[in-house]
Amino acid sequence: MHATALIAEDEPLLAQALLNELQRLWPQLQVLATTGNGEAAVDQALSLRPDVCFFDIRMPGKNGVEAAQALAEDWPDEAPGIAPFPLIVFVTAYEQYAVQAFEAAAVDYVLKPVEPGRLAQTCTRLQSLLVRRSSAGGSVEAAVEQLRSLLQAPGVARPAAAPLQVIQASVGQAIHMVPLADVVYFEAADKYVRVLTAQREYLIRTSLRELLPQLDAQQFWQVHRSVVVRAGAIETAVRDEAGKLHLTLRERPERLGVSRMYAHLFKAM
């Protein structure tokens, strides 16, 4: 069957080997592009709308799981004329315990170095899924559920780190000790993280990826791939006419958008 694909792999030789095997096993598959980092993979996928994405787990910038998550968050809402969300295949060198987590999350994977027999099974499965999807339609929400399960699976979730008590933010020659209880939300900003309190804003030289394991998940909720908010600082979660969730805060005027990946956090008790 005819289909399109995108390959995201930061090792050129492995990318070429995967491309060669796909051309041999599935001649009707058109590989639209190859890229070597997670950010570019998301941009290319949103632009080209492939049927299948092969995402390496370990890539510069966003890793494969984070790239898939970002793609799920930014993919347009389902509507006539909108391409279905692509099927994601992870390319991984993880040990067996982590591979079991991928299987449990109901997403396909291939191990490095790619074995033709295993890749043939993947191609067969993808063709079957694409045939079924052509009659039933693709579902972004189904993909979100799979990715959410994967992010929570043992061997994939980030390990816990020692919990922070204060944020040490440098301002000029001074280091401000900001209690976590004063933080309203964190927002990723390039190579920094913005720390917003009721009265002030600080910049810390770290990434949200590094910060997250040091925060209490019961107190600080990730509501977007670039935003983490203190749960006690949220006043309301309001759904607009398009069905998008937005948060109002007790101590700041901003409204924060909630991505579809984290909308499940906001349900009435």
pLDDT of residue 144: 83
Mean pLDDT of the chain: 88
Work out the average pLDDT over 208-237. Answer: 94
Name the nearest CA neighbour of 156 among 87, 72, 68, 266.
Answer: 68
- Cα distances (Å, whole numbers) of residue 41 to 4, 20, 80, 89: 14, 19, 25, 13
Residue pLDDT, tens place only, 68-122: 989 988 998 766 667 888 999 998 887 665 676 676 655 788 888 889 999 999 9
Band (149; pLDDT cuts 50, 70, 90): confident
Band (30; pLDDT cuts 50, 70, 90): very high
Residue pLDDT, tens place only, 242-265: 889 999 999 999 999 999 889 999
Report how far residue 254's alpha carbon sits from residue 196's, in angstroms, rounded to the nearest whole number.
Answer: 11
pLDDT of residue 50: 96
Least confident of 153-157, 203-207, 214-218: 153-157
Q: Does pLDDT of 214 surpass 60?
A: yes
Count Cα neighbours of 213 within 13 Å in the Cβ-side half-sphere.
Answer: 10
Name residue 177's beta-bridge partners: 168
Delineate the domains of the chain, giving CATH numbers in brackets.
3-152 (3.40.50.2300), 166-265 (2.40.50.1020)
